[in-house]
Every structure is written in C-alpha cells, then in structure tokens.
A and B are shown apart, each in its own frame.
Chain A
Amino acid sequence: MIGLGVGLLLAAIAFMTVGAKGSWDFVLPFRGTKLLAMTLVGVAVAVSTVMFQTVTDNRILTPSIMGFDALYLLLQTFLVFTIGSARLAAVDGGVRFGGEVAVMVTFGVMLYRWLLIGARRSVHVLVLAGIVLGVLFRSLSSFMQRLIDPNEFQVLQDAMFASFNSFDRSLVWPAAGLLAVAVSVAWGLRRRLDVLLLGRERATSLGVDYRRTVGLVLVVVAVLVSVSTALVGPIMFFGLLVANLAYRIAGSHRHAVVMPAAALLGVLALVAGQTVLERVFAFDTALAVIIEFLGGIVFLALLVRGEKR
C-alpha cells in the first residue's frame, strides 16, 4: 500500500514535469486539470468495480461489462436527440451533468436492482444479460445518432470513445464534488460490504438488510460510472483489471483495505501509463487501447479459469 502510494506520487510528479515546454504558469494548471481528471476516473472505476463485484458475489462482472456506461451514453444521446445540442450547450455544464447523473441513477438503479435482486441468476446469465443490454443501449444510441443532425453528431462522437486527452474541462470540478460524496458513502458502507462477501443469505443472517444495502451500492456505482464516463468515455475492462490486481495485493478481504488499494492502482495505472505514452512515446489515444487489451486478457483468463462463483 505504501509502495503504491509512493509509486503514484512519483508518477504524478513525472506526469506534471517531464517534457514541459514553455511557461510553468500554463503547464501546471493545464496538466493539473488532466491529472485531476485521471485521478477521478481511476478512483471512480476502481471503487465502483470492487463494490459491484462484492454485491454480485463474483469477480468477473463489472459495471461496464453489465452495460452501465453504455446506458449513460444512451442517456446523453437521448438528450441531444430530444433537446438538441444548441439548447443543451446553453445549459451550464455542471447543471446538465447533474441532471444526467440523476437520470442515470434512477434508471440504472431500477434496471439493475431488478436484474440483481429479483431471482437468483447464475453469473453466466448475468454476463450474457449485460452484453445484451450493452449492445442494446449502444444500438439505440447509434440509431438516434443516425437520425440527428451531423453537426450534433460531432458533439456526441467525442463522448463515444475513451480518450484521456480530449475531455470536457468544465466537468472536472462538478465531477470531483460528486465523486467525493460517492466515495464517502462507499467508505461508510465498507463494513457492510465485508459482510456481503459471505453472500446474500449469510449477510442477511448476520443482520445486513440486503435489499437496502445493494440498492445503496447501486446508487453509488451509478454515480461513479457517470463521473468516469462523462469525463473520458466508456472503458470496458479497466475496472476488472485493477479490482482483480487489488484482490491479489491487498492481502485482506476487508474493503477498508481493498477499496483504497484498487483506487491507488487505478490512478497509478492511468497516470503512469499516460506519462509514458504521451511523454516518452508521444502517442495519443493509445492508453485506452492498451488498457482494454490487458483488461480483456484478464477477463478471458478469469472466464477460462472459471473463477465465477
């Protein structure tokens, strides 16, 4: 954990300073915002994945595999489709973002509560359901995109692909605020999450109100997914990667350890990866691709090893 912290600090310093040209007055705030955005995304993805895996009692499903971020994109598309980007642009970024998150929480929680709390389903059915939902949401989005004005489509296109270079800078502070609230709720739930590791029945037997706790966890997850998707777009397998690494290195089942470890790992991977790619190799959007590649391999490995229930 300390090693992770130190590594992260070094990576952050390297990110802020390596290859800086021109005035520090420009470079520091510019890169600082980007660093903050990466921190937000790393923490949001890591914490949401760990919580989600605990309540679904498996190590393979993640919010993005279950189509959470596709749902967020669908919402965005729907807004542009119905209201139009010009009128949307007139609304303050923070307010719009808040509205999107609110809708996301309502719909997401309803849908996934039904999927997860209703009948007992096997992980394989859930994976399948998630993939189908993801495809459904994405096709609906692209269907609406076909119908809208090409100019409006431009606005959306940025949102559809993960990129750590082009993000909406006006969203960083509202996102930071939301993340802080969501993460403190997650921290408050850490002991109950520990009990949920025993599965639904044993947790109930120990006095945890399963429905309420899972409902609350899903709200937190929906907020966290909105934060990361709004900032950089959908990243499918990143959460899987950091969560599973965190279980290995945390050396404890307790969420008080696992959640911070996953968050540190998530931020470290993004900041270090971005520093190396951007400054050393001068690549642009490759980080998302590399993360997806590694995460995809981990996903397959977990599926093949049958580490499901």
Chain B
Amino acid sequence: MIDVLDAVKTYGSVRVVDGVRLTLPAGGLTSIVGPNGAGKSTLLSLIARLLEMDGGQVLVDGLDVTSTRSDVLATRIAALRQENHLTSRLTVRDLVTFGRYPHSKGRTTPEDLEHVARALEFLDLEPLADRFLDEMSGGQRQRAFVAMVLCQDTDVVLLDEPLNNLDPRHAVAMMERLRAAVDELGKTVVLVVHDINVAAHYSDHIVAMCDGAVMVEGSPREVIRPEVLSSVYGLPVEVHEIAGRPHATYFPPGRPSVTFSIA
C-alpha cells in the first residue's frame, strides 16, 4: 500500500510535483501516464526516497520513507530509474547480483544465486549473463537493469519506463511477467509507461499526470476515454473498442503520403 500525501518537489521556483495526493492499494498494477515533463519520474523518485521531498509525506506499508532506515526500506521497495548509465564496467551477472544486496549485504549466499539465476532466466538474459553492460544493445541493457530490480524481491516495485528500448516480444513478455507477479505473488507494481494501450491492457489502475499534478485517475475504462486523453496530451485521441477493450489511436487520420524532393 502506497500513500502519497500532498507530496511537493520544487526546483528553483518551479513545483515539478505539486501537492500530489494518491493512494495505491497493495497488490495491484498501476500505470502512471502523462506528457514529457509532467513529473512522473520525480514522483516515482519521491516514493522511492531517491529524491528529498520539499513538502508532504509518503508512506509505504505505513512506513514514512523519509524517516525509515534506508536498509529497511530496501527490503520493501525496489526502483528502476529511467536513466541507466554506469561509470564502472560490470557484467550483467554482477549487476543483477547487486539486487540481492539488501538481503545479503554483499555476502552472496546460494539462495541469492538462485534468485539471480531466476531473474536472468525471466528476462531472457542467460546467454548474455557474462557480457559487459557497455557491450550490449539498449534493450538488452534495459532488461539487465529490470532483472536487478526484480532480484531485489520486494513487495513494492517501482519501474520508470521499463519498456524503454524493448522490442514488442520482450515488451509483452515483461508486462506478462509483471502481471503474474501481481496476480500470483501479490506484489504492488507501479510503472511509468508512454504506450497508453499497454497501460490500458495490463493495469488495474491508471494515473494520468500533467504539470506536476494528478489530472485523472481510475480504472482503464475511466481513464482511456477520448476527452480525458485529449486533454492530458493536448492531442486529438480516438478510443475504439477492440476485442472488448478500449484502444486509443492518436495518429491524424487520412494523412497524405509525403514525398521529399531534393532540389
């Protein structure tokens, strides 16, 4: 269970998270959607205590994230960041093993190795396990970072754009796996996604943010509506029913084909 109580984050005079109030029930998959710069990543970082709040409070399972010890929180919340740059040269296996740190404190046990092996398998990384991260493709690297987060084996998992760089097969596989984690293991998963239809298809709950505030939240049916999405993104969005589910399309219809000529 995650309670965000009037969270505020300011940079200079700009309130990039402006008094957000949210309650996300335990054991569900929530998607946060919204335009670039809406404050989605900032909100996720506040929940994961990676940024200091300038006001308000966040409770995870009743624990205040600013006052609870970091190592205690690390066994309850895991977070994937949007950006995945590393200075040092690590292999995929090294990175994923770091996910066990909250439990092992660096003394890796056979049980930890099992978790690592499982995470590598889930994300289809076994053949790449001993490759260096800086020698892999963007999507492969993204999967390695997600594997590390899942390896942390926490009840609450926050993922900032986990589908970045993934091909459709791996994107679907990851969403299926997250859905299974919610349904079978009772995990609480919160993710930021830009693909509205992925959000519509897999989420229990969708939060639409705009300018640092929550604009709408609700079930996919409540949020995936033309008038809601059009105002969130400032773009005409149509919603069609496909196989009994809402499906958004946002390409201008009847676009003439463009030809370029070089003079």
3 shortest interchain CB distances as A-B pairs: A207-B74, A191-B106, A207-B71
Contact A207-B81, Cβ < 8 Å, known A199-B87, A253-B88, A253-B89: no
Which of B50, B89, B95 contacts A201 (CB under 8 A)? Answer: B50
Which of B71, B87, B106 contacts A194 (CB under 8 A)? Answer: B106
> For the side of the interface on A, what is the size category?
20 to 34
Contact assessment for B87 and A202 in the assembled complex, using a CB-CB cutoff below 8 Å: no
With an 8 A cutoff between CB atoms, is A309 at the interface? yes
What are 15 A-B pairs at a CB distance below 8 A? Answer: A191-B101, A194-B98, A197-B87, A198-B86, A199-B85, A201-B45, A201-B50, A204-B70, A205-B48, A205-B78, A205-B79, A207-B71, A207-B101, A309-B85, A309-B87
Q: Which residue of B lies closest to A54 (CB)?
A: B88
User: In the complex, what's the smallest C-beta–C-beta distance from A213 to chain B, in angstroms?
Assistant: 10
Contact assessment for B87 and A57 in the assembled complex, using a CB-CB cutoff below 8 Å: yes
User: Among A197, A201, A207, A253, which residue has the most Cβ atoms of chain B within 10 A?
Assistant: A207
With an 8 A cutoff between CB atoms, is B90 at the interface? yes
With an 8 A cutoff between CB atoms, is A284 at the interface? no
With an 8 A cutoff between CB atoms, is A86 at the interface? no
Contact assessment for B75 and A206 in the assembled complex, using a CB-CB cutoff below 8 Å: no
User: In the complex, what's the smallest C-beta–C-beta distance from B99 to chain A, in angstroms?
Assistant: 8
- Specify which chain B residues have a CB less than 8 angstroms from the CB of A206 in the assembled complex: 74, 98-99, 101-102, 152
CB interface residues, B 55-107, toward A, < 8 Å: 69-75, 77-79, 81, 85-90, 94-95, 98-99, 101-102, 105-107
Q: Which residue of B lies closest to A211 (CB)?
A: B70
Q: Is the interface of B mostly helix, strand, loop or mixed?
A: loop
Contact assessment for B86 and A191 in the assembled complex, using a CB-CB cutoff below 8 Å: no
With an 8 A cutoff between CB atoms, is A261 at the interface? no
With an 8 A cutoff between CB atoms, is B40 at the interface? no
User: In the complex, what's the smallest C-beta–C-beta distance from B206 to chain A, in angstroms?
Assistant: 25
User: In the complex, what's the smallest C-beta–C-beta distance from B191 to chain A, in angstroms?
Assistant: 15
CB interface residues, B 199-235, toward A, < 8 Å: none
- Specify which chain A residues have a CB less than 8 angstroms from the CB of B48 in the assembled complex: 205
Instruction: Give the complex CA separation of A208 and B98 in angstroms.
Output: 12
Contact assessment for A205 and B50 in the assembled complex, using a CB-CB cutoff below 8 Å: yes
CB 8 Å contact bits of A175-207 with B (1 = contact, 0 = none): 000000000000000011011011101101111
With an 8 A cutoff between CB atoms, is A209 at the interface? yes
- Specify which chain B residues have a CB less than 8 angstroms from the CB of A58 in the assembled complex: 87
Instruction: Give the complex CA separation of A201 and B95 in angstroms.
Output: 14
- Specify which chain A residues have a CB less than 8 angstroms from the CB of B73 in the assembled complex: 207
Contact A207-B89, Cβ < 8 Å, known A194-B106, A195-B106, A253-B94: no
Instruction: Give the complex CA separation of A210 and B69 in angstroms.
Output: 12
Contact assessment for B87 and A59 in the assembled complex, using a CB-CB cutoff below 8 Å: yes
- Specify which chain A residues have a CB less than 8 angstroms from the CB of B87 in the assembled complex: 57-59, 197, 199, 309
- Specify which chain A residues have a CB less than 8 angstroms from the CB of B78 in the assembled complex: 205
Q: Which residue of B lies closest to A309 (CB)?
A: B87
With an 8 A cutoff between CB atoms, is B49 at the interface? yes
Instruction: Give the complex CA separation of A253 and B75 in angstroms.
Output: 24
- Specify which chain A residues have a CB less than 8 angstroms from the CB of B70 in the assembled complex: 204, 207-210
- Specify which chain A residues have a CB less than 8 angstroms from the CB of B75 in the assembled complex: 207
Q: Which residue of A lies closest to B50 (CB)?
A: A201
Instruction: Give the complex CA separation of A197 and B89 in angstroms.
Output: 9
Q: Which residue of B lies closest to A201 (CB)?
A: B50
- Specify which chain A residues have a CB less than 8 angstroms from the CB of B105 in the assembled complex: 191
Contact assessment for A202 and B81 in the assembled complex, using a CB-CB cutoff below 8 Å: yes
User: Among B48, B72, B74, which residue has the most Cβ atoms of chain A within 10 A?
Assistant: B74
